[in-house]
A and B are shown apart, each in its own frame.
Chain A
């Protein structure tokens, strides 16, 4: 990517591309152009190998047996937890709960912390940028507790209206939950400021980091949030695994959420006692191989360098924004000052599903639809968008292919 086309070679994209086996695939004879990493990222060989090797050489259940394999598995799994801890900047590994993903993490916080601390007349505050998994768990909680779900509005660019956010915080606000980076538009929220304001109002803060973790360095202590969650599959790791960070003191005071193996210290029919953190929140045999491969994904991201990935994606985002802006009849949705990895757009006179089908015909994978964020679409008065999202392995040439594909769409619907 370096040289005459003028891309700064912060990372060696061609070398990175060789690490992703799926990028050698073709779709109807055309090379795959994968612009859907915001839905789920592809996996480098190192992640695939980690999972495979674990199953081939050291598979066993964790935290149970005294035998050799059980020890290997437990060590590898706990080692991965340590990597997540460092990745998020948490001070202790017991603050890292390994779960199925961000959605499960939000539900855990809503059901455990929320049911204990939110009562009738209390309030939970979210923003108008949230996707369904950061809306519905709070709706369920508020319905059960007769609490009120408040929503901070967003402006035309797709940024949270901070004055309204501040105004909506009240002495009754118990929990404030928002995304670090939003999935539909790519807006980066001012999470430190939002956390400060929420804390000043006496609320705890939950941050959905699913879309942020692949694109920017996260430091939960610098942000100051009480909870932070992300999913493995968006950060080049496996699906079905993710992590919840919670401040030790906050997690410690929370009741268990699900009951079962691993989360108990002792069980009698009269009473059970809970295991220590983080196992109190990890009922049942976990996604062991997934957890270990998540550790490998974090290793991979750190080897390439999150800063270099972010710089590369930012360059692509600017290039792609310029390309799309020059297409007549195309409107980019979400123009926040700070954005990460997402180009969402609508094309005059053409529904996104048709755009998606025609692009797919040229091997270009984009997401079309409401991106599990219907309220965001309603805010802009549109049913759906086409979303191209970026990752470390994307190139300018792929964005050129996208622009050509859009040209084809317009020709078809002329």
Chain B
């Protein structure tokens, strides 16, 4: 069960059962829909960006515990960040879940609690679950309205 507990950490289970910022956002000025065509998971990410700062961020959608927790924790992490910081966090998170931990530098401190997703690396089939909301968020910031993990 060790690797499984690495994947399903308490924080992840908590966010999957009680997702934060799971709501629509009428005042959003950036939004995108994301889809993982392989499994049918869907996410909509809403951002309210003022000047260069992400004032509010939320999501709606349905998915597995990994994708729900990832979206929930992402929204927590992004509030108050600048657009550049948000994009940098995307890169750091992507590296965290896809790169071989033995061959890369330790995860950047900016990831904070998000490092609980490091266990996803051991489950390649679940990387797309963990990164769906992040791809969608980046698409929204870059002015696209759709993201796909494919």
Seen from chain A, the residues whose Cβ lies within 8 Å of a Cβ on chain B are 349-354, 357-358, 361, 368-370, 374, 377, 383-384, 412-413
> B40 touching A353 by the CB < 8 A rule?
no
User: Is B63 an interface residue when CB atoms closer than 8 A count as contact?
Assistant: yes
Given known pairs A361-B3, A361-B4, A412-B13, the reply for A354 and B65 (CB within 8 Å) is yes
User: Ordered nearest first, which 8 A-B pairs have the shortest CB separation?
Assistant: A351-B64, A353-B64, A369-B39, A370-B40, A354-B65, A354-B64, A383-B62, A361-B4
Residues of chain A contacted by B46 (CB below 8 angstroms): none
**In the complex, what distance in Å separates the CA atom of A230 from the CA atom of B121?**
38
Given known pairs A384-B39, A413-B13, the reply for A358 and B4 (CB within 8 Å) is yes
Interface centre among A357, A369, A384 (most CB of B within 10 A): A357
Residues of chain A contacted by B126 (CB below 8 angstroms): 353, 357
Residues of chain B contacted by A384 (CB below 8 angstroms): 39-40
> A351 touching B40 by the CB < 8 A rule?
no
Q: Digitize B3-42: 1 where CB-to-A-CB distance is under 8 Å, 0 elsewhere.
A: 1100110000100010000000000000000000011111
Taking residues whose C-beta sits less than 8 angstroms from the other chain, chain B's interface range is: 20 to 34
The minimal Cβ–Cβ distance linking A199 to chain B, given in whole angstroms, is: 36
The minimal Cβ–Cβ distance linking A348 to chain B, given in whole angstroms, is: 12
User: Is B66 an interface residue when CB atoms closer than 8 A count as contact?
Assistant: yes
The minimal Cβ–Cβ distance linking B117 to chain A, given in whole angstroms, is: 14
Which of A358, A383, A412 is in CB contact (< 8 Å) with B40? Answer: A383
Chain B residues numbered 36-65 whose CB sits less than 8 Å from any CB in chain A: 38-42, 62-65
**In the complex, what distance in Å separates the CA atom of A407 from the CA atom of B13?**
17
Residues of chain B contacted by A369 (CB below 8 angstroms): 38-40
**In the complex, what distance in Å separates the CA atom of A354 from the CA atom of B66?**
8
**In the complex, what distance in Å separates the CA atom of A314 from the CA atom of B68?**
37
Residues of chain A contacted by B42 (CB below 8 angstroms): 383
User: Is B96 an interface residue when CB atoms closer than 8 A count as contact?
Assistant: no
Task: List 9 additional A-B contacts (Cβ < 8 Å) besides A353-B41, A353-B63.
Answer: A351-B68, A353-B66, A357-B123, A358-B4, A361-B1, A369-B38, A374-B40, A383-B40, A384-B39
CB<8 Å pairs between A and B, sample of 20: A349-B17, A351-B63, A353-B39, A353-B63, A353-B64, A354-B66, A357-B7, A357-B125, A358-B4, A358-B8, A361-B3, A369-B40, A370-B40, A383-B40, A383-B41, A383-B42, A383-B62, A412-B8, A413-B13, A413-B17
Residues of chain B contacted by A413 (CB below 8 angstroms): 13, 17, 65
Residues of chain B contacted by A377 (CB below 8 angstroms): 40
Residues of chain A contacted by B62 (CB below 8 angstroms): 383
Residues of chain A contacted by B125 (CB below 8 angstroms): 357
Interface centre among A352, A353, A369, A374 (most CB of B within 10 A): A353
User: Is B71 an interface residue when CB atoms closer than 8 A count as contact?
Assistant: no
Given known pairs A357-B125, A369-B39, A384-B39, the reply for A352 and B13 (CB within 8 Å) is no
User: Is B129 an interface residue when CB atoms closer than 8 A count as contact?
Assistant: yes
**In the complex, what distance in Å separates the CA atom of A383 from the CA atom of B13?**
20
**In the complex, what distance in Å separates the CA atom of A159 from the CA atom of B17?**
34
**In the complex, what distance in Å separates the CA atom of A352 from the CA atom of B39?**
10
The minimal Cβ–Cβ distance linking B58 to chain A, given in whole angstroms, is: 20
> B8 touching A353 by the CB < 8 A rule?
no
**In the complex, what distance in Å separates the CA atom of A369 from the CA atom of B65?**
14
Residues of chain A contacted by B8 (CB below 8 angstroms): 354, 358, 412
Residues of chain A contacted by B17 (CB below 8 angstroms): 349, 413
**In the complex, what distance in Å separates the CA atom of A63 from the CA atom of B38?**
40
The minimal Cβ–Cβ distance linking A16 to chain B, given in whole angstroms, is: 30
**In the complex, what distance in Å separates the CA atom of A377 from the CA atom of B41?**
12
Residue of A nearest to B1 (CB): A361
Residues of chain A contacted by B63 (CB below 8 angstroms): 351, 353, 383
